[in-house]
C-alpha cells in the first residue's frame, strides 16, 4: 500500500509540475505567435497607408473602396519632376531666380509620369493582396473607410482608416488569452486590434502600433 501511495504522489507531482509549466509557457507561446502575426499585419497596413497617401495626392481625397485603391496603384501614375542643372552662386549674384533661369533655359525642370506600383512597391508586388489580412489562419479583408470631416475652424479634411480586429488577426490562437487582450485594450480605451488612420481625427495617418 505504501508503494502505491508513493507512486500516486509521484504521478501527482509530475502532473502538477506539468500544469505549472503550461501555465507559464502558455502566455509565452501566445505572445510569440501574436507578435509574429502583428508584424506582418503592420507591414501590410503601412503599405495601405502608402497607397492611400498617393491616392490623395493625385485625387485630393482618400478612398473607402478597395477596388478603386488597388486599380489606382495598378494603372495610375505619379508626377515626378526631373531636375537638370541648378542655380549657381554666380546666377544668384546676377539676380537670377529659378523662374528666370528656367525661362532663359539655363536650368531645366521636366515633369514625367511614373507608375504608382513601380514607385511605391515594385513591379513584382502582389497588389491584389493589399486588402487581405496576411495571416494564414484566416481569409479576411481589412476594413477600409474614408470620409471628409470638418474641423472646429471649419476646414474640411479628408481622412481614412484601415483596421483588423484581434479576433481575426489572432484566429485559432488561445481564445481566452485573445479575450483577455481585447478586454485590456478596451479598458485602456484602445482599439482591440491593429489600425492605421482615423475617421474621427484630422491629419492622423498614424498606426496604433506607433
Instruction: Reply yes or no on whether the pLDDT at 138 is more than 90.
Output: no
Region 176-204 average pLDDT: 95
Place 210 in a pLDDT band, splitting at 50, 70 and 90. very high
Region 125-152 average pLDDT: 93
What would the pLDDT profile of 1-23 be if each residue is shown by its tens digit? 666 666 666 666 555 554 564 55
What would the pLDDT profile of 39-87 be if each residue is shown by its tens digit? 999 999 999 999 999 999 999 999 999 999 999 999 998 776 667 677 7
Model-level pTM? Answer: 0.77
Q: What angle do CA 178, 181, 185 make, to 5 degrees?
A: 140
Amino acid at each position: 500500500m505504501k508503494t502505491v501511495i508513493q507512486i500516486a504522489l509521484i504521478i501527482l507531482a509530475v502532473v502538477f509540475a506539468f500544469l505549472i509549466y503550461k501555465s507559464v509557457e502558455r502566455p509565452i507561446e501566445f505572445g510569440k505567435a501574436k507578435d509574429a502575426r502583428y508584424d506582418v499585419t503592420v507591414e501590410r497596413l503601412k503599405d495601405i497607408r502608402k497607397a492611400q497617401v498617393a491616392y490623395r495626392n493625385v485625387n485630393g481625397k482618400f478612398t473607402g473602396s478597395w477596388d478603386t485603391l488597388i486599380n489606382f496603384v495598378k494603372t495610375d501614375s505619379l508626377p515626378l519632376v526631373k531636375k537638370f542643372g541648378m542655380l549657381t552662386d554666380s546666377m544668384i549674384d546676377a539676380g537670377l531666380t529659378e523662374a528666370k533661369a528656367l525661362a532663359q533655359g539655363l536650368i531645366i525642370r521636366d515633369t514625367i509620369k511614373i507608375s504608382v506600383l513601380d514607385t511605391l512597391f515594385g513591379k513584382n508586388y502582389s497588389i491584389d493582396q493589399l486588402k487581405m489580412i496576411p495571416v494564414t489562419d484566416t481569409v479576411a479583408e481589412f476594413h477600409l473607410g474614408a470620409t471628409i470631416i470638418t474641423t472646429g475652424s471649419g476646414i474640411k479634411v479628408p481622412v481614412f482608416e484601415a483596421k483588423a480586429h484581434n479576433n481575426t488577426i489572432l484566429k485559432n490562437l488561445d481564445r481566452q488569452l485573445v479575450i483577455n487582450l481585447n478586454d485590456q485594450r478596451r479598458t485602456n480605451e484602445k482599439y482591440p486590434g491593429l489600425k492605421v488612420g482615423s475617421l474621427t481625427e484630422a491629419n492622423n495617418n498614424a498606426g496604433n502600433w506607433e
